[in-house]
Amino acid sequence: MLVTRRVLLKTAAKLGLAAFALGTSKLAFAKPNTPTPSRRDTMPFTLPELPYAKDALAPFISAETFDFHHGKHHNAYVTNLNKLVEGTDLANKSLEELIQLSAGDASKAGIFNNAAQVWNHTFFWNSMTPNGGGAPTGKLAEKIAADFGSYEKFVEEFKTAGATQFGSGWAWLVLDGSTLKVVKTANAETPLTKGQTPLLTIDVWEHAYYIDYQNRRPDFISTFVEKLANWKFAAANFEAASAAKAA
Ligand code: MN
């Protein structure tokens, strides 16, 4: 558990994602005040706890979905990644280093897929909150209006990205340079490898919604936007990224 927290803190420092670390450490980790050690953050990686109770997002996402999605799928990515790097020359690499060094390398597809899925899922849990959804406020709201035209235009792009991702993947709100963008990625692909800073994501793999929505992916995406999106998390990620660029 602590190893994963250190990984997240390191990611936060590297990417300017202070909010990611804060958001995940607040509720998800047993000893949030443990200082970041100087040693490298390597395997064994561990499954982070959810940042809320598994029934906290019901009826929009059921506890049963979390039992499978977090308890089985996310956990399997963690277990698989540890097996893949244990005893190899990659065993001293951090989660983010594993993602970057394996991206686009067919011989390391297993490592990339599992490492990226570990990272993406932790980010996804934090992209949702009880009583979430609706429009953001503050600087991020102003930036969304400036870059997309309006909040409604952003919603339209985000829903389209998630609904049109053929097969498995993700839809994201990212900061690309100084511009907000909606992007979609296939399978385990992540904006991290494209130099973009993730602010918010939705998992549109079937396993994310099938128990609660069956084949109705667009309904799941609409519910995410209207009831679940954690704008506090996205805004903090945006401000941290902006501050990092300004420094
Ligand atoms: Mn998933």
CATH code of the domain containing 16: 1.10.287.990
The reply to whether 86 and 188 lie within a common domain is no
243 C-alpha to ligand 1 centroid (Å): 30
Q: What is residue 42's predicted lDDT score, i.e. its pLDDT? A: 83
189 C-alpha to ligand 1 centroid (Å): 12
In the structure encoding, which two tokens stand for residue 116, read together?
């990226």
Tell me the one-letter amino acid at 76. Answer: A
In the structure encoding, which two tokens stand for residue 234, read together?
């996205």
121 C-alpha to ligand 1 centroid (Å): 6
The reply to whether 154 and 121 lie within a common domain is no
Taking alpha carbons only, the member of 134, 141, 175, 183 closest to residue 158 is: 183
Give the count of domains, the chain: 2
pTM of the model: 0.85
Q: What is residue 244's predicted lDDT score, i.e. its pLDDT? A: 87
- Categorise residue 130: left if φ over 0, alpha if ψ from -120 to 50, beta otherwise: beta
75 C-alpha to ligand 1 centroid (Å): 11
Q: What is the pLDDT along the chain (247 residues), one digit of tens a residue?
A: 344 444 444 444 444 444 454 333 333 333 333 334 334 578 899 999 999 999 999 999 999 999 999 999 999 999 999 999 999 999 999 999 999 999 999 999 999 999 999 999 999 999 999 999 999 999 999 999 999 999 999 999 999 999 999 999 999 999 999 999 999 999 999 999 999 999 999 999 999 999 999 999 999 999 999 999 999 999 999 999 998 888 7
CATH code, domain with 168: 3.55.40.20
Three-point CA angle 145, 244, 230, nearest 5°: 50
Domain boundary among the residues 126, 150, 168 is at: 126
Check residue 206 and report its DSSP letter: H
Q: What is residue 20's predicted lDDT score, i.e. its pLDDT? A: 53
Three-point CA angle 241, 234, 182, nearest 5°: 85
Per the domain annotation, does 89 fall within a domain?
A: yes
170 C-alpha to ligand 1 centroid (Å): 9
Q: What is residue 245's predicted lDDT score, i.e. its pLDDT? A: 83
Hey, is 72 helix, strand or coil? helix
The reply to whether 122 and 155 lie within a common domain is no
What is the domain extent for residue 117?
2-45+61-126
Distances (CA, A) of 87 to 45, 72, 92: 14, 24, 10
9 C-alpha to ligand 1 centroid (Å): 22
Sequence-distant (6+) residues with CB within 8 A of 211 are: 62, 64, 65, 68
Residue labelled with tokens 């050690």: 37
213 C-alpha to ligand 1 centroid (Å): 15
Q: What is residue 246's predicted lDDT score, i.e. its pLDDT? A: 83
188 C-alpha to ligand 1 centroid (Å): 9
Q: What is residue 40's predicted lDDT score, i.e. its pLDDT? A: 53
139 C-alpha to ligand 1 centroid (Å): 30
The reply to whether 142 and 119 lie within a common domain is no
65 C-alpha to ligand 1 centroid (Å): 10
The reply to whether 78 and 164 lie within a common domain is no
